[in-house]
């Protein structure tokens, strides 16, 4: 059975304005997502599922999905604030989406095979999809054995300034033991360093694996997500900004020895448009990949 690609596209890109996923950056106006779908298709994924918000459903279908439907089956699910378990109601002060793991939960009815999770607006690189597809195929029929693509820290830095990254600790067999969110990482004096809450600087290895939210799960993950979301809501009753992130649940499953997560090394360079200033650099990188023959132009005919 071919794995499915689940694309988190419900976020509107608060720091960047407008529908970030619809911004044409490739030589022929391609979006980053166009390249992701192209890479997934050639790596052997068999279906694409998008999670979006109903408010931009029409625009998304017209501008995005229409391109892919000729090439691969596509489904859409919706993430809304009032998608809550029985017994919980939406507080009027809640404005923020419930986070990446809540977005994953929305696919429970349409995904019944091993699946990858990606951000819509991140460029992950061809090799990452190949490595992940191979692992997902091997995971068919198993439960509680998941994976994530670990990027080498040096391949994810921004020239625009400091970045936040989930730095992964792994055991000797490359299984994830923890993810620590470092909110201020940059290259200083030629060395990658992070700044802690007290403004002290610490070195990080060039090849430290970091999570860029590229995960591999089997359908049993939905059940864990549902159960833990109830606990999350109970624990954050008065906090209207708390978010249910994927690493939050993954960390819980690892600590309780419920599941393990294999960290897959990738040589791919990650890039994305976090801030408007990043845009020109991304346009240039995509142009270079096309010139090298990595991608055709136009990408989708």
Contact 120, 135 (CB under 8 A): no
| Residue 164 domain-assigned (yes or no) | yes
CA distances from 55 to 80, 93, 96 (A): 10, 19, 15
Residue that wins the pLDDT comparison between 227 and 80: 227
Mean pLDDT over residues 142-171, rounded? 93
Question: Where are any strands of DSSP class E within the chain?
Answer: 4-8, 47-52, 74-78, 115-119, 122-123, 145-152, 163-170, 176-188, 191-195, 201-203, 209-217, 260-266, 271-272
DSSP 161: B
Rounded CA-CA distance 122/269 in Å is 11
Residue 191 has pLDDT above 90, yes or no: yes
State the pLDDT at residue 18: 53
Neighbours of 233 (CB within 10 A): 16
Q: What is the CATH number of the domain that holds 76?
A: 3.90.550.10
**What are 108's two structure tokens?**
């429970």
Structurally, how many domains does the chain consist of?
1
**Is 301 inside any structural domain?**
no
Arithmetic mean of pLDDT over the chain: 90
pLDDT tens digits, residue range 221-241? 999 999 988 888 788 887 777
**What average pLDDT does range 145-158 have in this prediction?**
95
pTM of the predicted model, to two decimals? 0.92
CA dihedral sign, ordered 30, 52, 93, 163: negative
Domain-embedded: residue 125:
yes
Task: Return the DSSP state at 56.
Answer: G
- DSSP-assigned beta bridge partners for residue 261: 146
pLDDT of 14 > 50? The answer is no
Q: Is residue 205 part of a domain?
A: yes
Average pLDDT in the 90-104 region? 80
The predicted pLDDT at position 12 comes to: 53
Assigned domain for 300 exists: no
For residue 15, the enclosing domain spans 4-291
Reported as a pLDDT band with limits 50, 70 and 90, residue 15 is very low
What percentage of the chain exceeds 70 in pLDDT? 94
Binned at pLDDT 50, 70 and 90, residue 16 comes out as very low
* 127 assigned to some structural domain: yes
In a domain, 298, yes or no: no
């Amino acid at each position: 059975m071919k794995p499915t690609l689940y694309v988190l596209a419900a976020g509107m890109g608060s720091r960047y304005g407008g529908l970030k996923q619809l911004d044409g950056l490739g030589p022929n106006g391609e979006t980053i997502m166009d390249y992701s779908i192209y890479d997934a298709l050639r790596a052997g994924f068999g279906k694409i599922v998008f999670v979006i918000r109903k408010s931009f459903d029409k625009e998304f279908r017209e501008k995005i999905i229409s391109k892919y439907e000729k090439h691969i089956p596509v489904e859409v699910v919706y993430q809304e604030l009032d998608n809550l378990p029985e017994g919980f109601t939406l507080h009027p002060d809640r404005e923020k989406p419930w986070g990446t793991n809540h977005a994953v939960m929305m696919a429970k009815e349409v995904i019944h095979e091993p699946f990858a999770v990606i951000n819509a607006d991140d460029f992950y690189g061809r090799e990452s999809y190949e490595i992940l597809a191979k692992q997902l195929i091997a995971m068919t029929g198993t439960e509680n054995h998941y994976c994530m693509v670990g990027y080498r820290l040096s391949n994810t830095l921004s020239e625009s300034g400091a970045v936040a990254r989930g730095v992964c600790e792994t055991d000797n067999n490359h299984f994830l033991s923890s993810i620590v969110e470092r909110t201020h990482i940059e290259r200083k004096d030629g060395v990658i360093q992070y700044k802690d809450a007290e403004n002290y600087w610490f070195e990080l290895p060039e090849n430290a694996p970091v999570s860029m939210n590229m995960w591999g799960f089997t359908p049993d993950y939905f059940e864990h997500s549902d159960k833990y979301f109830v606990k999350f809501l109970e624990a954050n009753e008065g906090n209207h900004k708390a978010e249910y992130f994927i690493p939050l649940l993954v960390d819980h499953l690892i600590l309780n020895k419920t599941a393990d997560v294999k960290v897959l090394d990738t040589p791919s360079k990650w890039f994305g448009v976090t801030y408007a200033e990043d845009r020109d650099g991304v346009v240039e990188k995509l142009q270079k990949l096309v010139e090298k023959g990595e991608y055709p132009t136009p990408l989708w005919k």
